Amino acid sequence: MKKIAVFASGSGSNFQAIIDVVQSGELKADISLLVCDKPGAFAVDRANAARIPSFAFSAKDYPSKDAYEAEILAELKKRGVEFIVLAGYMRLIGPTLLREFQGRIVNIHPSLLPAFPGKDAIGQALEAKATWSGVTIHFVDEGMDTGPIIVQERVRLEEDETRESLQNKIHAVEHKLYPAILQVLLTQGGIVNGKKASTY
Ligand code: GRF
């Protein structure tokens, strides 16, 4: 069973969706660690409730990204983590983690990339009066939401769409799509749509 770490900064509803499928046995993986850069975040409570170890830190307590990532890396190695799942982690992954995990880090983003990258993709879609937005799952590289795309699913914006309604629709898609794709990546040798995921 692959040992994974989930990285989150906030409420962690995607983290919870992953916990749920692991607990039900639908996803054969071991969530070995939650990494969280906001010690008070609800994601940490979710980890505690599920008896998943967490490493919570504040970036301001470290001199640099390299310094806190070195500590994260030590935690990952100590637990034999093989794969990193970003789920609402609001920081760019730096060279320290990328060097060790490139090709083994995935992220979920609430837009159809390359549209609306970075912060507040939902607000960006509303502001642009887009008809379509959605969800992208992609491998992580050194850029901001730029790595190779694994899968995307569309969500339609209605005339009267609000931030809350769009967020709910996007979350509903995310909570199904992320577990399904992780299942493929972690247990079927990374084959997505008949191609080896690492060749995307
Ligand atoms: C999700 O919409 C995800 O796409 C984005 O951040 C949000 C995290 O939500 N990267 P949650 O913490 O999983 O509820």
Q: What does the pLDDT look like over 142-178, one tens digit per residue?
A: 999 999 999 999 999 999 999 999 999 999 999 999 9
> If pLDDT is split at 50, 70 and 90, which confidence band does 199 have?
very low
Structural domain total, the chain: 1
Helix (H, G, I), strand (E, B) or coil at 50: coil
Which pLDDT score, from 0 to 100, does residue 187 have? 86
Q: What does the pLDDT look like over 95-114, one tens digit per residue?
A: 999 999 989 999 999 999 99
3-state helix, strand, coil in the chain (%, to 5): 40, 25, 35
Write the CA distances from 76 to 41, 147, 198, integer angstroms.
Answer: 20, 22, 21
Mean pLDDT of 8-37: 97
pLDDT of 21 strictly over 80: yes
Total-model pTM: 0.94
Largest CA distance in the chain: 50
Q: Is 108 in the pocket of ligand 1 (CB under 6 A)?
A: yes
pLDDT of 198 strictly over 90: no
Q: Which residues face 6 on adjacent strands?
A: 34, 85
Q: Is 70 exposed, middle or buried (0-12, 13-18, 19+ CB in 10 A)?
A: middle
Average pLDDT of every residue of the chain:
94
Q: What is the CATH number of the domain that holds 46?
A: 3.40.50.170
Distance between CA atoms of 186 and 177, rounded to whole angstroms?
14
**Enclosing domain of residue 31:** 2-196
pLDDT of 194 strictly over 60: no
Q: What is the percent of the chain with per-residue pLDDT over 90, rounded to a whole number?
A: 92
Mutate to test the pocket of ligand 1, among 7, 13, 14, 37 (most ligand atoms within 8 A of CB): 14
Ligand 1 mean position to 69 CA, how many Å? 21
Which residues contribute to the annotated binding site? 12-14, 65, 90-93, 107
